[in-house]
Structure 1
Amino acid sequence: MGTFLIILIIAFVIFMIIGATTKPPSTEKVNNNVKRKEIEINLKEFPNEYTFSVKGVHLSDYSYPIFNICKEFDLITLVPEPDNSFDSDAIKVVNSGWDIGYVPAEETYEVHQIIKKENISYIETLNISGYISVIVKIRYKN
């Protein structure tokens, strides 16, 4: 009887550990659909759009936020870096206070012109399986 009780207690502990570490069913898709609808409603006033692929997302400096913070339809901030030692036209892409990469050098002129206007920028597509990529869409007024 004592051995049976010990086995039962061990089984209960294992069950509790497995239950505590198992994630509940994902609501990510539902949450993303809600976010997307909210963004689309708010963007009716922003008829123009510009899309680019964030550069540098494969670098280790950006891996934590890319894998753990970023989600599709997160609002992002585009921050000009005139003191950047590599490119004075550089524009950093920031999500929730985390640097996630840069606007491609060949697109900084257009993006500089757009961010002077009223705009909303967000992650349109995030791919972290296989080849890592982050696509940003900027919606802006004339």
Structure 2
Amino acid sequence: MAVDPQKDPAVSVVFICHDGRGRVLLARRGAGARDEPGTWDTGAGALEHGESFADAVRREVREEYTADALDVETIGVRNVLRDGSHWVAVVNAVHVDPAAVAIGEPHKFDELGWFGLGELPVPLHSQLAETIALFRVWSGA
């Protein structure tokens, strides 16, 4: 039976990349983004059949930011209900080397930036606050 994301829950991995020194990587969503273009957000992607959460995160980090995940840790799970869809979002903290980061999907993102948690850019994606809250608890910030 096929999953219909408009009716059935689907699983995504959300990842907040960090440099290990208190800064997080955010991407500004471009005109080709699925929703909320012009807002800043973390990375995310759908879990593929048979894939582990960590493998999905590693794949998505490479696709979106061209970098290898140095460390992946699950920090929470969220139910995301919006626009008629239901996603189960497995949220991860991912350590990456800032020097290895670049835009890997220019059709989705038009800018990347490193930010302290007290200096986040605006406007933020509507789902970002809850992801940042999980990261704050995990990091002790």
The normalised TM-score by structure 2 is 0.25
For normalisation by structure 1, the TM-score amounts to 0.25
- Higher-RCO chain (CA-CA 8 Å, sequence separation at least 6): 2
